[in-house]
């Protein structure tokens, strides 16, 4: 069995990530992703924020055929010299190939780069695959770009770059039960802490392939605390979900969050939102 290494931090597994992973299968039948347990940005005191949870990201890697995922602590290797790091990987995994993206850097002071890997491939006897930039609509596909689309509410386009749906998930918690009193019971979850935030609004989502509405925000019509929560109303469903894990696939923003004069006005708008949801 031949090993192919894929190097990088893969947040969300978008189109460009897929290209890097798939390139490894040109040379090897056992693909090993060498990555980190947390974003390297944490090491540099930046915000820890992801498109998908690490669990979902790993699952997507495995769905692409990745056999093994090796996670280092970035702090353990940040100061290792670039050539020493690659030599260590080659001695441990004996790869026939190594694949990276066009802008991958590694090693102390980020001195390692594709140019160095090309030189090392001859010295250490492996094939090097440097995957070129992936362009969509004149933009370079990257995790940063996708996060920007999500933050702006264009989750529909972000999903096309991810080639899967953005996820909001968590354990169902007890709410104020106001939705139930107006005929639209909701399952409430706290927005995942380290996942990039959608703007407050109403979204068309699916839960176990059932159509649903998600209101993410501070519920300005009825909420006195100002604490944001994700409220999910599953169409054609009646049941108690308290304490259960709920996973919402976010498809499209229907409208921004807004404050209504009273519960009756809110109820009318929810009916309109459901009609919009049923069209999708």
Q: How far is residue 252 from each of residues 141, 159, 171, 259, measured CA to CA in Å?
A: 20, 9, 22, 21
- pLDDT greater than 90 at residue 20: yes
The structure's pTM equals: 0.93
Instruction: Provide φ and ψ at 241, rounded to 5°.
Output: -110, 5
Task: State both tokens at 207.
Answer: 């839960």
Considering the chain, tell me which residue range(s) the CATH 2.40.30.30 domain(s) occupy. Answer: 165-279
**CATH: 3.40.50.1460, 2.40.30.30, 1.10.10.60, 2.60.260.20. Which one for 165-279?**
2.40.30.30
Tally of CB atoms within 10 A around 211: 18
- Tens digit of pLDDT for each residue in 165-185? 999 999 999 877 666 667 788
Topology at the third CATH level for domain 3-132: Rossmann fold (3.40.50)
Task: State both tokens at 216.
Answer: 């993410």
SS3 33: strand
Q: Tokens 């709410």 appear where?
A: 175
Q: What pLDDT was estimated at residue 160?
A: 98
Contact 189, 172 (CB under 8 A): yes
- pLDDT greater than 90 at residue 137: yes
- Tens digit of pLDDT for each residue in 40-72? 888 887 888 999 999 999 999 999 999 999 999
List own/partner pairs for 58-66 with CB under 8 A and 24 or more apart.
Answer: 60/12, 60/13, 60/164, 61/10, 61/13, 61/21, 61/33, 64/13, 64/18, 64/21, 64/22, 65/21, 65/25, 65/31, 66/6, 66/21, 66/31, 66/32, 66/33
- pLDDT greater than 90 at residue 252: yes
Q: What pLDDT was estimated at residue 181?
A: 65
* Mean pLDDT calculated for residue range 207-232: 87
* Angular region, 109: left φ>0, alpha ψ -120 to 50, beta rest: left
Mean predicted lDDT score pLDDT of the chain: 93
Tally of CB atoms within 10 A around 158: 25
User: What DSSP state is assigned to residue 138?
Assistant: T
**What is the band of 188 on the pLDDT scale with cuts at 50, 70, 90?**
very high
Give the separation between CA 21 and CA 134, rounded to whole angstroms: 13
Q: What pLDDT was estimated at residue 219?
A: 78
Give the separation between CA 52 and CA 196, rounded to whole angstroms: 8
Give the separation between CA 90 and CA 121, rounded to whole angstroms: 10
| Least confident piece of the model among 31-45, 100-114, 199-213 | 31-45
* Mean pLDDT calculated for residue range 244-251: 97
Q: How far is residue 26 from each of residues 18, 19, 96, 128, 133, measured CA to CA in Å?
A: 13, 11, 11, 11, 18
Instruction: Provide φ and ψ at 229, rounded to 5°.
Output: -150, 155
Q: What pLDDT was estimated at residue 209?
A: 92
* Mean pLDDT calculated for residue range 232-248: 92
Considering the chain, tell me which residue range(s) the CATH 3.40.50.620 domain(s) occupy. Answer: 3-132
């Amino acid at each position: 069995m031949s090993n192919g290494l894929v190097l990088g931090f893969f947040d969300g597994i978008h189109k460009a990530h897929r290209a890097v992973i798939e390139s490894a299968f040109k040379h090897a039948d056992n693909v090993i992703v060498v990555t980190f347990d947390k974003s390297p940005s944490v090491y540099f005191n930046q915000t820890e924020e992801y498109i998908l949870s690490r669990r979902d990201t790993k699952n997507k890697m495995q769905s692409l055929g990745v056999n093994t995922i090796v996670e280092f602590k970035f702090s353990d290797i940040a100061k290792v010299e670039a050539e020493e790091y690659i030599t260590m990987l080659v001695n441990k995994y004996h790869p026939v190939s190594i694949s990276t993206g066009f802008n991958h850097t590694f090693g102390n002071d980020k001195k390692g780069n594709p140019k160095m890997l090309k030189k090392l491939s001859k010295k250490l006897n492996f094939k090097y695959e440097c995957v070129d930039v992936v362009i969509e609509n004149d933009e370079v596909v990257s995790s940063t770009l996708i996060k920007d689309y999500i933050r702006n509410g264009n989750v529909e386009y972000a999903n096309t770059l991810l080639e899967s749906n953005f996820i909001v998930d968590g354990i169902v918690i007890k709410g104020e039960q106001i939705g139930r009193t107006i005929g639209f019971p909701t399952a409430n979850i706290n927005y995942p802490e380290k996942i990039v935030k959608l703007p407050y609004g109403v979204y068309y989502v699916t839960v176990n392939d059932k159509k649903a509405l998600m209101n993410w925000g501070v519920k300005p019509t009825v909420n006195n605390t100002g604490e944001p929560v994700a409220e999910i109303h599953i169409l054609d469903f009646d049941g108690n979900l308290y304490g259960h894990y709920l996973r919402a696939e976010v498809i499209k923003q229907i409208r921004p969050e807004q404050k209504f004069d009273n519960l009756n006005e809110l109820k009318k708008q929810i009916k309109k939102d459901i009609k919009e949801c049923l069209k999708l």
